[in-house]
Amino acid sequence: MSLNTESATLPMGWRRIQRIDAVPPAMVTALAFVAFVLFWTLVNTISNGGAIDHDMTEAYVWGREFQLGYYKHPPFWAWLAGAWFDVLPHRAWAFAALSALNAGVGLLGAWRLIGCFSHGEKRVAAILLLLLTPYYTYFAYRYNANTIFLSLWPWTALFFVRSIERGRTVDAVLFGALSALDMLSKYYAILLLAACLLAACVHPRRRDYFRSALPYLSVALCAVVLVPHLWWLDKTGFLPFHYFEAQSGRAWLFGLRQAINGALEFAAFQIPIIVLIFLSRWRSAEITPVQWRESRFAFLTVLCFAPLVLTLASSVVFRVILTSGTGIGAFCLVPLFLIQVSGIGSFRQLERLIFWAVLATSGAVVLLAPLLGYAHVSHPSGMMRSIPNPDEPSVELAETATQLWHQKTGLPLRIVAGSIYHENPGAFYSDAYADMVAFYSDDRPSEFIDFDFQRAPWITKNRLEREGLLIVCPAGDLECLKTSAAFADPARDQVTLTLTHRVWHWQGARATFTLTFVPPRA
């Protein structure tokens, strides 16, 4: 993301980029990186009304326990969240910083990856065009098992490309190690690694590559790193596979509709890029022919689009839900591909268009962020009632529940539980409020997920008797209240309270909760 400029100037006083080093100057890279992280930390904190998503608190709840795997997904992305909040305070801005840092690391990887295929002005244009898509900016805020690929995939693809083109052992080792981290984040990574295999099959050096020890070294190292997680899978009866089974197998028409919607959404997000490239080509005096049959162009094409094609195909085969975040990290080469096929020979006009587009969108984001924050706080988002919306009092709930626990027991709050998550489609309740209490409470309690010792192996019967349990039920969750009655006397140990979320001078909706207190027995 760094630019090495010389003294020639453009009209309007802008410096013309004369040369881009293979490795950007450290100082410029650091400044660009820090500016990006700080900017999007601030913007996302304000525009989301100081609220965080259920996936984000789930990452924290899991990561603080540091298991070799969790009942939905592999552990790496959750480990990062757990380690992050061992250092930073449990507040929304800190999660925004983690999300922006994740995206920033991905942009650095994308810059290096794009440098394998282009240099100079074309490379700069390709990386700046990424900032006009929501992948590395607004969508990056929802830190979860999908957005972790914003940072992991560009670096994985970089060392894959280097291993096949340079033939160096160190690149093969790094490719294998990063492939393992991909798999340890979400099993979706198998599609990204399959894309690497398909791309390798069309590379001009494919015969030399597959005859060498490099690909097999990468596979072997990846397998070695995965051994502890594979052991955990076997020990727990392959828990994440049961979760996937529950989420898949819907109607064939559903899977096809998901694939079509995913393709249309991907295309829609490329519209700003396509418009800028079209305008630049229209006004460009230099047009170069596209080398469609050139083998390295085929390699770029497969590496660019195979993840998308495989993702859409998997939605049809397995009939699963494709969210906006599915595959979010796999599109870093798309701007470069669109530039390549445009045939633009001179990038001066494109650079100027991109500069003004990025400047305009950044300014608009700054101006709109407070309005979006106000809208989030003051207007319900229409999500399921059991999942905290930005307008609901998650922070207030955690603070009040912790204070009441202290008053009733005189002890720190160590364990919290909440509504039971149902894996069937259309489930009404989730455990999100317990996640919120676990995240925001100053006592930093563990969560007893779904009252299930298998899903929360860090909780034992002895620990429950020794430390007690706080159960948080949103109003109307009869199943949660029924489960609470099995742990304590509702007439004696329950409190109902109504809270309101406030951010600065904004006031959100009122929400009612029932808290059940199960004091320690030992």
Q: What is the secondary structure of 25-40 as a DSSP string?
A: -HHHHHHHHHHHHHHH
Least confident of 338-352, 391-405, 506-520: 338-352
Please give the torsion angle defined by the CA atoms of residues 125, 126, 132 and 133, in that order, rounded to the nearest 10 degrees. 180
Which residues touch 350 (CB under 8 Å, ≥6 apart)? 121, 125, 276, 277, 280, 284, 339, 344
**Is residue 466 over pLDDT 90?**
yes
3-state secondary structure of 118: coil
Three-state secondary structure of 404-469: HHHHHHCCCCCEEEECCCCCCCCCCCCCHHHHHHHHHCCCCCEECHHHCCCCCCCCCHHHHHHHCE
Same domain? 213 vs 302? yes
Q: What is the mean pLDDT of residues 334-359?
A: 81
The secondary structure of 319-341 as a DSSP string is -----TTTTGGG-TTHHHHHHHH
Is 105 a domain residue? Answer: yes
Contact 85, 59 (CB under 8 A): no
- Is residue 379 included in any domain, yes or no? no
- Which of 334, 369, 404 is where one domain is finished? 369
Give residue 395's pLDDT band: very low, low, confident or very high (50, 70, 90). confident
pLDDT at residue 1 in the model: 45
Q: Which of 309, 336, 369 is the last residue of a domain?
A: 369
Name the more confident of 305 and 2: 305
Statement to judge: residues 265 and 332 lie in one domain: yes
The two tokens of residue 270 are: 């490329």
For 296-305, what is the mean pLDDT?
A: 93
Residue whose C-alpha is closest to residue 250's, from 427, 428, 72, 424: 424
> pLDDT at residue 4 above 50?
no
293 occurs within a structural domain: yes
Q: Verify that 179 and 142 share a domain, yes or no.
A: yes
Which one-letter amino acid corresponds to residue 423?
E
How many whole angstroms separate alpha carbon 449 and alpha carbon 353?
50
pLDDT score recorded for residue 21? 45
Residue 185's SS3 state is coil
Q: Which of 323, 353, 369 is the last residue of a domain?
A: 369
Separation between Cα atoms, residue 361 and residue 233, nearest integer Å: 45
Which residues does residue 496 pair with via DSSP β-bridges, in sequence order? 514
169 and 208 in a single domain? The answer is yes
Does a structural domain hold residue 375? no
Phi and psi, residue 506, nearest 5°:
-95, 140
**Greatest C-alpha distance within the chain:** 82
362 and 401 inside one domain:
no
Question: What confidence score (pLDDT) does residue 16 get?
Answer: 43
Determine the structural domain holding residue 468 and report its residue range: 394-518
Q: Are residues 307 and 417 in the same domain?
A: no
Asked whether residue 2 is domain-assigned, the answer is no
Q: How many helices and strands in the chain, by DSSP H and E?
A: 21, 5
Same-domain pairing of 194 and 51:
yes
Average pLDDT on 113-122 reads 89
29, amino acid identity: T
Same domain, 438 and 314: no
CA separation for the pair 350, 57 (Å, rounded): 41
Which residues lie across from 473 on neighbouring strands? 514
Percent residues over pLDDT 70 in the chain = 85
Each residue of 276-299: pLDDT tens digit?
888 887 766 666 666 666 778 899
The confidence score (pLDDT) of residue 376 equals: 60
Q: Does residue 337 lie in a domain region?
A: yes
Q: How far apart are the first and last CA of the chain?
A: 58
Are 419 and 353 found together in one domain? Answer: no
Residue 449 CA to residue 72 CA, distance in Å, equals 12
Evaluate whether residue 365 is within a structural domain: yes
Same-domain status, 201 and 343: yes
Determine, yes or no, domain membership for 178.
yes
Residue-wise pLDDT for 167-176, tens only, equals: 999 999 999 9
pLDDT computed for residue 387 by the predictor: 44
**CA–CA separation, 332 and 158 (whole Å):** 11
Is residue 402 over pLDDT 70? yes
Count: domains in the chain? 2
Q: Residues 475, 346: one domain?
A: no
**Do 459 and 355 lie in a common domain?**
no
- Give mean pLDDT, residues 122-131: 88
What per-residue confidence (pLDDT) applies to 427?
Answer: 43
